[in-house]
Chains A and B, each alone.
Chain A
């Protein structure tokens, strides 16, 4: 049977149901809304009779009106909400038919499923959420033509319904993942790579979630309260100062060492490079205890430093600095060696033949060309030094650095009290890190012209 023949049939069924409804009292016979609905049905049927190509629209409209008349009134009792839902549904129907006509089949299925999921979410799952349903239905219709928009839309819906307490971090993470995956391009077409990317991002979400949760969870007022605490301010200032001094010392010794390692071949070179990673491998607490074994007040070196030079190490800024240098060392050295390795030796030979001494060659060629990599190492080293807790807490539990202060406050006051401090520290670290990263971008790279072998 042709679709255009179904319309009058549907109309007849509706009229019969309407009559039955008024007789049995399911429907108010003279209710203005119901009368309007029935009129709309008749008009639609008449139009479908004259324009058979619109029969699909007309059939859908009749089904929707019927559903609203007999079922919808039970769910959304007032006619205003019911009418709004009906209108939104009609819009959805229209968009659905357009999608069916112009877009691939998958879109249509996604759209229709989306409609029913929304219905289940807002009408059945939440109480009194009909206006929300309408709002989200309209939004979905607006997003329907673009798969990417639709993905953003569903990310928002899922975040604000299912992932309720973590809605904002979830939205940020999901939006980031969607823009990454849908925006991914490769030189060789591959469907596999975006899947890998998505899988990796799923794990990465667990890294981002705690950070974002802490950042979005606090209001400015509580942050300000923490910032006014002189003890906290002193701890943050101390952290920044010690990390900066430690990194400066590291840079002064580490960069020349890295240049030597990159350019020289000597016995034990590989061993040296592997041993330089030791501070990464050693558990931080173990490193702290080991440092205490050397620099503690009752140990030989520590005692000598304290008694002869008047420079006690444990429980002082010097101790904090030593622990920071220890843990940050590999980050600087690794990056700097890699940076110098990218500088073409031919450039340095050329500089020498132009009259530059080894020092001037280092200063004018190797250092500027390795600058970006070296600076990246400095950034990582600074971040590591500022964030170090394990090693620092053993050698210098006081004076407090910021990580130690967070630990102490957590132990004495608990999670709720510590949260604003943690947010503040996170914010502080993030701002520093982004600033330093930005500076790194501005430096030249060592990537010279591609090297040709003779």
Chain B
């Protein structure tokens, strides 16, 4: 648990699309909701931090650790993909235990962590189920638990509430808040729904065509949008992102 995620001018190029340069810091205990229309580079940003996509420029630090060319398994970055991506051949229990083998701790500590996290996420009743039998909300919880038992320094959530019905969204928001209160892991939460930022109620960033438009508490963004595009996005949810139009 050593602190702050710094993104320092990171750039990722994929064909015609360029992400960045993005500069951003997330402190211990902060939950940043990163918003933007489809195709603005949100998922790319997460994958770059997780180490799945190499940087073309800039650097990523967690506290004093420079991530550089570290492979994903050495970054201590928890990544929860959009579709939960539970391992279909393993029971929930073994899904959650998956990362414990690589955490460098003994069996008792593994057991303690496992019990703590499953309790925190309320998935004890699901442990013997197969992933295919879980509902969308349950699968997200299990995926969160699987990531959190490894005690990542940073948590990356890609559309954690996507494709869920309203009651499931509300429960999961409560879960996310309680995790946040209990662990304080710096988190980036990617979404294209404004109401998620509102429900989470913390910091919020707007990403447009690979660049950050504005960052701040969600109320500030709503009251003082940085420009006309931000205004339109925050008012209407998802304006068409017209390439070349002045922001």
Contact = CB atoms under 8 A, between A and B. Distances in A.
Interface of A: 344, 346-347, 349-358, 360, 364-365, 368-369, 444, 447-452, 454
B71 A350 contact: no
A353 B50 contact: yes
B85 A448 contact: yes
A352 B85 contact: no
Interface stretch (B21-29, B73-81, B222-230): B73-81
A110 to B, nearest CB: 47
Contact of B85 (A350, A358, A360, A444): A350
Contact of A350 (B38, B79, B162): B79
B72 A353 contact: yes
B150 interface: yes
A357 B89 contact: no
Given A349-B81, A353-B75, A454 B98 contact: no
A355 B75 CA distance: 8
B43 A454 contact: yes
Nearest to B99: A354
A346 B85 contact: yes
Contact of A353 (B78, B89, B103, B132): B78
B214 interface: no
A452 B73 contact: no
Contacts of A369: 87-89
Given A364-B98, A449-B85, 6 more contacts: A349-B52, A350-B79, A350-B85, A353-B50, A365-B87, A449-B131
B83 A449 contact: yes
Which 6 A-B pairs have CB atoms at the shortest separation, nearest pair first?
A355-B102, A354-B99, A352-B72, A353-B79, A444-B89, A454-B43
Contacts of B139: 449
Interface residues of B, number: 39
A356 B98 contact: yes
B181 interface: no
A169 B19 CA distance: 67
A447 B131 CA distance: 12
B150 A346 contact: no
A358 B52 CA distance: 12
Contacts of A365: 87
Contact of B102 (A350, A356, A444, A452): A356
Nearest to B77: A353
B84 interface: yes
B163 interface: yes
Q: B50, B75, B78, B87 — which one has the most chain A CB atoms within 10 A of its CB?
A: B87
A451 B83 contact: yes
B31 interface: no
Interface string B163-203: 10000000000000000000000000000000000000000
Nearest to A447: B88
Given A350-B81, A355-B102, A449 B88 contact: yes
Nearest to B71: A352
27 contacts: A346-B81, A346-B83, A346-B85, A347-B87, A349-B47, A350-B85, A352-B71, A353-B75, A353-B77, A353-B79, A354-B73, A354-B78, A355-B102, A356-B73, A356-B102, A357-B73, A358-B71, A368-B89, A444-B88, A444-B89, A448-B85, A448-B88, A449-B83, A449-B85, A451-B83, A454-B43, A454-B158
Contact of A355 (B42, B88, B150): B150
Contact of B73 (A344, A352, A447, A454): A352
B140 interface: no
Contacts of B162: 452
Contact of A454 (B82, B85, B146, B147): B82
Contacts of B209: none
A213 B239 CA distance: 71
Nearest to B72: A352
Contact of B98 (A354, A358, A448, A450): A354
A373 B83 CA distance: 24
B236 to A, nearest CB: 21
B65 to A, nearest CB: 15
A344 to B, nearest CB: 7
Nearest to A443: B89
Nearest to A368: B89
Nearest to B163: A452
B50 A349 contact: yes
B89 A449 contact: no
B102 A360 contact: yes
Contacts of B78: 353-354
Contacts of B102: 354-357, 360
A450 B87 CA distance: 13
B73 A449 contact: no
B145 to A, nearest CB: 11
A444 B80 CA distance: 24
A450 B136 CA distance: 12
Contacts of A360: 102
Contacts of B103: 355
A67 B40 CA distance: 90
Interface in B101-151: 101-103, 131-132, 139, 146-147, 150
A76 B47 CA distance: 90
Given A352-B73, A356-B99, A449 B159 contact: no
Contacts of B147: 353-354
Contacts of B101: 355
A349 B79 contact: yes
